[in-house]
Structure 1
Amino acid sequence: MAGPTTAERGERQQESSDPPLPRRRLRLSRLRTIIILAILLVLLGAGSVWLLYGSQWTRVEKVSVSGTRVLTPAQVRAAADVPVGAPLISVDTEAIEARLRRKLPRIDAVDVVRAWPHGIGLKVVERSPVLIVQKGGKFVEVDDDGVRFATVSEPPKGVPALELTPARSGSSAASLRRFGEDRLVREAVRVADAVPAAVARHTLVVKVRSYDAISLELSDGRTVAWGSGEKGASKARTLTALMKASPDARYFDVSVPTAPASAGS
């Protein structure tokens, strides 16, 4: 009996090499799914780009301000110069923050946030004065970092005056040359921060003669020799105890907190 012809053998080999029909259909189905998903992703991406950059729905229409105490919202908005009408996504929030700090030194911190779909929020933290320096007929406010941030015509209530009175010769002059005026101001701030609350309410002047010769003048005429800004917590405790022990004294010295002294009546 004759065997299969060459053509028949070729057909059988072709049939054996072709994948089964269900498998081919599965591959085609997967390919169609991939193509459809790719098209959908492209459309979604294009739609998102249009929505964020081209649509009128996500453009800046409102700038809100919160946290102001001395500054007005109008001043903050003017300094921020937010590009109203621009796509919200394109607003450079870091540039706005830098602009606000540069134009309004009273601002200690600011957070610029996007309020979708139409707003920009400016959350401001203002500096608070802990000391004031009289300069002519004006007053310079100094914050708790020693930063002189604003000049005002009226001194804020309850804020002590800072007097820098270093001598032109001797140890006070040497202290000024060594530390510089800015460092002496920061030391005065350290002292003002450390003074007990009961004493701080009556403190009119923080006087700096040198780095380690800082004193307080109180509203009732009493004086406190504080020394340097070091060991502030210990000096505060000592001063509180000393004032209780000598309520009629007019002068208190806590420059060495382990050896305090009081005098006068």
Structure 2
Amino acid sequence: MGEPRRDSGEPRDSGDRQHSGDHEPLSFPEPETVTERRRRRRGLLMLGGALLALVATVATLYFSPLLALRSIEVSGNDLLTDARAQELVESFYGEPLPQVSTADIRAALEQENVVADVHSRAELPHTLHVEIQEHPPVAEVHEDEAVLFYNDAGEVIREFREAQVMDAEGYATPEISAEAALEDEAVFAAIVSVLGQLPESAREQMSAASAESIDSVQLELEDGRVVVWGSDDRGDEKAAVLEAILASSAEDFAQAQIIDISTPSTPVTR
């Protein structure tokens, strides 16, 4: 009887040689939620990087000496001289332009009573444009050799002295006596308040204004007629009535010496 056949060590059939470790792992599609989270995270990282770059750029410009303010161009000023305006904003020269705000410029210029409002606009790299809005002069007071202009709040907005006095003649502002300005503040305040309520076209026809009390303001027209205004109450109504009277060719108004509009609903002439 023959011996059993031994395994010769020869490779077996390929089907017999496969082992469990040789199988390819199964792949499954990634859940949509995971993909979306990964996409969102990548977008946030990119956005964060862009924001950091933007902040760095802005910070560089905000503090950069390359944008130092070298020129301030002022417009809209009439009573405020160019020299005085430049003096008030002088401290801003050399500052980085993005750091100079309209509020800063306004605070500097409003040291002068004539300045009502200020707007500014930067022009890179070195220029700031400043536009000034002024309070209009409503009255003038002659004091010694000077002419003082006042706004409707009773504040001096320009003083002309010596050689400058001639420059004051170009403004149509009614004159108030120096006594009224100096002796009784309440009376003076009433006068300038009334003058401030007048339309500019009417104020230009006034030569003087006076009052003995806060309720007895009178305006003198250039043609000699006197307008009795009274107190500063109902100012809008009185201004409208006066404007209509000045534009009227009616004989009662044209020949009257006194026009009383202290009660605006019933003006009286005499």
Among candidates 168, 171, 177, match of residue 163 of structure 1: 177
**Runs of 5+ unmatched residues, structure 2:** 1-19
Q: What TM-score results when the alignment is normalised by the length of structure 1? A: 0.68
Q: What TM-score results when the alignment is normalised by the length of structure 2? A: 0.67
Tell me if the contact between 1:163 and 1:208 (Cα under 8 Å) persists in the aligned partners. Answer: no
The residue type paired with residue 185 of structure 1 is F
What's the CA shift for 1:197? 7.1
Deviations 1:82-137 (A, max 9, x none): 533332222244232111111x3322211233223332221111222111122222
Change (3 A) 1:89 1:213: same
Tell me if the contact between 1:238 and 1:260 (Cα under 8 Å) persists in the aligned partners. Answer: no
Whole-angstrom CA distance in 2 between matches of 1:243 and 1:193:
27
Change (3 A) 1:239 1:50: closer
SS at match of 2:110: helix
Change (3 A) 1:148 1:244: farther
SS at match of 2:56: helix
Whole-angstrom CA distance in 2 between matches of 1:22 and 1:199:
84
Whole-angstrom CA distance in 2 between matches of 1:43 and 1:234:
60
* 1:105 matches 2:113: yes
* 1:214 matches 2:223: no
Deviations 1:226-249 (A, max 9, x none): 322334136526854696325444
Tell me if the contact between 1:165 and 1:208 (Cα under 8 Å) persists in the aligned partners. Answer: no
State the number of aligned residues: 233
Whole-angstrom CA distance in 2 between matches of 1:112 and 1:199:
33
The residue type paired with residue 216 of structure 1 is L
Percent identity of paired positions between Structure 1 and Structure 2 = 23
Tell me if the contact between 1:226 and 1:235 (Cα under 8 Å) persists in the aligned partners. Answer: no
Tell me if the contact between 1:226 and 1:253 (Cα under 8 Å) persists in the aligned partners. Answer: yes
* 1:244 matches 2:255: no
Among candidates 144, 148, 159, match of residue 156 of structure 2: 148
Whole-angstrom CA distance in 2 between matches of 1:221 and 1:146:
25
Question: What corresponds to 1:11 in structure 2?
Answer: none
Among candidates 217, 233, 251, match of residue 239 of structure 2: 233
Whole-angstrom CA distance in 1 between matches of 2:172 and 2:218:
18
* 1:79 matches 2:88: yes
